[in-house]
Amino acid sequence: MKKLLGITLCLACVATAALAQSTNALPFTRVEDVIYGRKSGTALTLDVFRPAKTNGFGIVMMVSGGWFSSHEGISPAMFQPLLNRGYTVFAVVHGSQPKFTITEIVPDIHRAIRFIRHHAAEYGIDPNQLGITGGSAGGHLSLTMAVQGGLGDPNAKDVLDRESSAVQCVACFFPPTDFLNYSQPGEDAVGVGTLKNYKAAFGPRSDTAEERQKLGREISPIYFVRSNQPPVLIIHGDADKLVPIYQAEKFVERSQAAGATARLIVRPGKDHGWPELIKDEDIFADWFDEHLRGLKPVAPIK
């Protein structure tokens, strides 16, 4: 986890430095620590970023590296291009490993999306058109919501649980998508192998091969691909040692075979993150413009 957090912090510093020299960073307001739920006696929070000139659409930002999430990990510089396009961004902090496992973290994201949708009028966004984004573990959670987000229970006691947790568009960086076939068919990474340092995120069910097979299918987005899933864009480096590009390739391949819209952009020679990553956020903004707002692309996305 330390390695991944270090990369995340490094990228945030690079992005902040680049934007400090830029004249293109448009103003926004920030509301911090909005409580969207409670878990084990602690508050689950998100920060709301509203550009001075909004376009009426919201993007859910997964603040997650190695399935660890914290308020300190929120870096507006990393999604400034989205704010510049007028998107209201909701930076979601979830329950973190090692205290919580992936299966316990995913419900936090469902809850956050339901909260955002329930308060859409307050935030001035369209409740029926939400995008989601993130990188690495945040990308995994984004894709999980793409394939597993769904209708709420109309009879639920909690009004938030009556709301849908579905998202309508996804753009993410280097996400794990199939923990049972990691860099090649049959390679188990459910808290072992390449991801052995992240065992806490998988919990005690990763102790045996039999349970890893069951858990791997439960938490891998690729096994829930469907024809009517939202449009997905993935940007991935082909030299990534932590999350092999095989993960993105197979997810996009299966999505396209199912008839869904999915696109992979490969960054040659790039590992798990790169200093120019901030520029790729503009590509994400293009994707959201096209698939959330219905705008015709000015130029091909590449």
SS3 273: strand
Q: Where are the domains of the chain?
A: 2-291
Residues 113, 149 contacting (CB under 8 angstroms): yes
Select from 43, 167, 146 the least CA-distant residue to 95.
43
pLDDT digits (tens, 9 = 90+) for 202-249: 999 999 999 999 999 999 999 999 999 999 999 999 999 999 999 999
Sign of CA dihedral 261, 74, 108, 123: negative
Query: Looking at the predicted structure, is the pLDDT value of residue 1 above 60?
Result: no
pTM summary value: 0.92
The pLDDT of residue 276: 86
pLDDT digits (tens, 9 = 90+) for 99-115: 999 999 999 999 999 99
Residues 67, 102 contacting (CB under 8 angstroms): yes
228 exposure class (CB count in 10 Å sphere: 0-12, 13-18, 19+):
exposed
Give the Cα separation of 197 and 200 in Å (integer): 8
Give the Cα separation of 49 and 30 in Å (integer): 5
Q: Which residues of 263-284 are buried (b: 16+ CB within 10 A; e: fewer)?
A: bbeebeebebbbeebbebbbbb
Query: Looking at the predicted structure, is the pLDDT value of residue 301 above 90?
Result: no
What single-letter amino acid sits at 201?
A
Residue with tokens 């394939």: 147
Select from 188, 228, 191 the least CA-distant residue to 97.
191
Query: In this structure, what DSSP letter does residue 242 have?
Result: S
CATH of range 2-291; options 3.40.50.720, 3.40.50.1820, 3.30.70.1060, 3.10.580.10: 3.40.50.1820
